[in-house]
Each structure stands twice: as C-alpha cells, then as structure tokens.
C-alpha cells in the first residue's frame, strides 16, 4: 500500500474516493428483510382488550360510573402505546462480522450495536436484544415476518450471543 500523499483525496473527499482502502469492510454484511407480521399486529391488540376487561372487572364494585371512565382512559392509553410501538417496526436486519443493525422501512437506522442475546417462545416468536452502548433494545420478530431459514439464523445467532449454544 502506498502512503497517503499530499493532494490526494482525503477521507472526507466530496468526490467519494477512498484514501484508506484498508478501512473498507472486509466481509459483506448479510441482510435479512422482514415483512409486517400479522401476529404482532393482532395479538397485542387482543392482549390490550383482555387487560381493559380485567381492569374494568376490578373497578366494577366501586360505586358510581367511575369504572367506565377509568376503563376508557386505560383503553385510550393502551391504544396510544400500541400505536407508538407499531410506528417503526424493523424492516431489515443487517448482520456484519462485528455487530448488527436494524433499519425501518424509510431506511433510517433504528439501532446499531452488538447482539446481546435473545429470548424465544416456541417456534414463532423471537426477541432479539441489541446492545447499543448505553442501552439495550429488544426487537420482537414473528416467524411470519421472515423466511424460515432467516428466522432460524437469527435464533441461532441469538442463542450464541446469549451463551446458550456453543
């Protein structure tokens, strides 16, 4: 390799030339596209309705009609939380040699960091945990959101990161 010469393109060169070729990624990143999951849209809404029903049943012995108003307020707060949760689901996972990134449908990066582990319930839901420095972000992935091979690869990588599989 040649040394960086005076007058050559720098790292921030607007022409897009790379002055340091050894800084280029050595391995291409594996990209896993995700579809919107019907399960992750329907099941949280059903869980919210069950929670509102239980909340209303717990408040029913109170005198007056305060139980109805409180139940409606609880439903509104839960609906806002669901709307916020569904606002930007991951649409693409990029797995590199030293980390993982999740991107939204608009191309913005949701989280980038190293894979910290995973939790899996049955064969249809996987929660990937990405350590992004000061915080860890948990991203749920349903089996209907990815192909079977991609879902299996994410599950195996998560088990390896959590130390449950050598």
The answer on pLDDT for 17 being more than 60 is no
Residue 39 confidence (pLDDT): 86
Who's near 160: CB < 8 A, 6+ residues apart? 166
pLDDT tens sequence across 70-93: 999 999 999 999 888 777 788 888
Q: Convert the pLDDT of each residue in 24-48 to its tens digit.
A: 455 567 788 888 888 888 889 999 9
Helical H segments across the chain, by residue range:
39-59, 66-85, 148-162
Tens digits of residue pLDDT in 120-145: 666 788 888 888 888 888 888 888 88
Measured distance CA(93)–CA(91) in Å, rounded: 7
Looking at the whole model, is its pTM more than 0.75? Answer: no
Per DSSP, the three-state class of 109 is strand
């Amino acid at each position: 390799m040649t040394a960086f010469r005076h007058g050559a393109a720098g790292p921030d060169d607007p022409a897009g030339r790379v002055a340091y070729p050894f800084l280029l990624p050595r391995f291409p990143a594996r990209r896993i596209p995700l579809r919107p999951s019907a399960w992750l849209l329907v099941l949280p809404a059903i869980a919210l309705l069950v929670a509102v029903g239980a909340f209303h049943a717990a408040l029913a012995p109170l005198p007056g009609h305060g139980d109805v108003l409180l139940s409606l307020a609880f439903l509104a707060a839960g609906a806002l939380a669901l709307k916020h949760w569904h606002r930007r689901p991951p649409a693409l996972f990029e797995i590199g040699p030293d980390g993982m990134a999740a991107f939204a449908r608009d191309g913005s990066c949701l989280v980038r960091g190293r894979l910290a582990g995973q939790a899996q319930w049955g064969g249809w839901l996987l929660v990937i945990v990405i350590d992004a420095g000061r915080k860890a972000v948990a991203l749920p992935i349903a089996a209907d959101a990815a192909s079977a091979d991609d879902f299996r690869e994410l599950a195996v990588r998560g088990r390896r990161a959590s130390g449950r599989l050598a």
